[in-house]
Amino acid sequence: MKLLVPSAAVACLVLSFVSQAISQEYPAQPERLHLKRPFPDNTPGRVELTASTAQRDLSTKQSESILQLRGSVEVRIITCGPNDRGKVVCDNGSMVLHADRVDFNENTGEIHARGDVRIAPYQAKSKTSVSK
């Protein structure tokens, strides 16, 4: 009986340290938004957008089409075209843009990037076919 009380106290201390260590080891990650939009002029391809937040300015009719992305924004421009067999093939990403903030006009396809902006070609890992 004399060892039961100290053993229980030690067990409680160990459990409290373990729960703190687990919560420190895996900090909560913010959710990321993933959006896909076709090119506005019916060109085969799409724009893939990833950001922490997205919103629209609904104050005017012109600004309704502008998607405001914030927080480590990534924009991938996926281009498509016919291969030698006549099938439409899309690269898994032809260009990638990283920025702190991006305003994307869904009607025109214009991208206004601000903050720490980087643009790089993106090497496709695999190609996917798109039916006509």
Q: For 48-70, what is each residue's pLDDT tens digit?
A: 999 999 999 888 888 888 999 99
d(CA 71, CA 110): 19
Q: Is the pLDDT at 11 greater than 60, yes or no?
A: no
d(CA 26, CA 28): 6
Q: Which of 17-21, 91-95, 102-106 has the lowest mean pLDDT?
A: 17-21
Residues 6 or more apart in contact with residue 16 via CB below 8 angstroms: none
**What residue has token string 């016919």?**
82
- Mean pLDDT, all residues of the chain: 77
> Which comes out higher in pLDDT, residue 126 or 113?
113
User: Which class for 59: exposed (0-12), middle (13-18), buried (19 or more C-beta within 10 A)?
Assistant: exposed
pTM above 0.75, yes or no: no
Q: Is the pLDDT at 83 greater than 70, yes or no?
A: yes
Indicate the residue type of 25: E
